């Protein structure tokens, strides 16, 4: 299985998620957000894993990089290529698929419990959260979990996104 891991240069550790993928024979190939011009196409990929970031989707100084990543994620989604977004990954997936991202009314840093509609898919936690932004669930997606700060998980087609950090080790 070939996994494309989208990450920032200084924060490209997929933690527990990467360990589990490797246990199942996955080959991880890193696509650095700071170098979108060197990204391969999606040919041969079996999964796109979108890690967190200290960026915000709406920052003007990373506009070109956000546009390139959103285009890649839309292309993967349209091809029914499985995509798993974590934290910023959920935010940019929302953005790419027609939702919106904004500064949250309050930050969530630390362990959180979720109000979950699908506890077999997204258990209530505790889960580690570290984010300053929130998003709207994109059109056609099903919101699976949330806290008072906003959505924490959604699913649309083969695209799954969580605002918390299951990779934290």
Active-site annotation, residues: 87, 165, 167
User: What's the chain's Rg over C-alpha atoms?
Assistant: 15
In whole angstroms, what is the distance from residue 7 CA to residue 105 CA?
26
CB proximity list for 15: less than 8 A, separation 6 or greater: 165, 167, 168, 169
- Dihedral in degrees, nearest 10, Cα atoms 102, 107, 110, 111: -70
Do β-strands 83-86 and 115-116 pair in parallel, antiparallel, or remain unpaired?
unpaired
How many CB atoms neighbour CB 3 within 10 A? 22
């Amino acid at each position: 299985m070939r996994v494309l891991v989208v990450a920032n240069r200084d924060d490209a550790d997929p933690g527990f998620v990467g360990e589990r993928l490797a246990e199942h024979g996955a080959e991880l190939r890193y696509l650095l957000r700071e170098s979108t011009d060197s990204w391969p196409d999606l040919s041969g990929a079996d999964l796109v894993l979108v890690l967190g970031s200290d960026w915000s989707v709406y920052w003007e100084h990373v506009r070109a990089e956000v546009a390139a990543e959103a285009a890649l994620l839309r292309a993967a989604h349209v091809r029914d290529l499985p995509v798993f977004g974590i934290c910023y990954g959920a935010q940019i997936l929302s953005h790419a698929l027609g939702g919106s991202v904004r500064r949250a009314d309050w930050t969530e840093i630390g362990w959180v419990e979720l109000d979950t509609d699908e506890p077999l898919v997204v258990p209530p936690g505790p889960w580690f959260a570290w984010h300053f932004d929130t998003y709207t669930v994109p059109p056609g997606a099903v919101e699976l979990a949330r806290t008072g700060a906003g959505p924490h998980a959604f699913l649309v087609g083969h695209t799954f996104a969580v605002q918390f950090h299951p990779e934290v080790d």
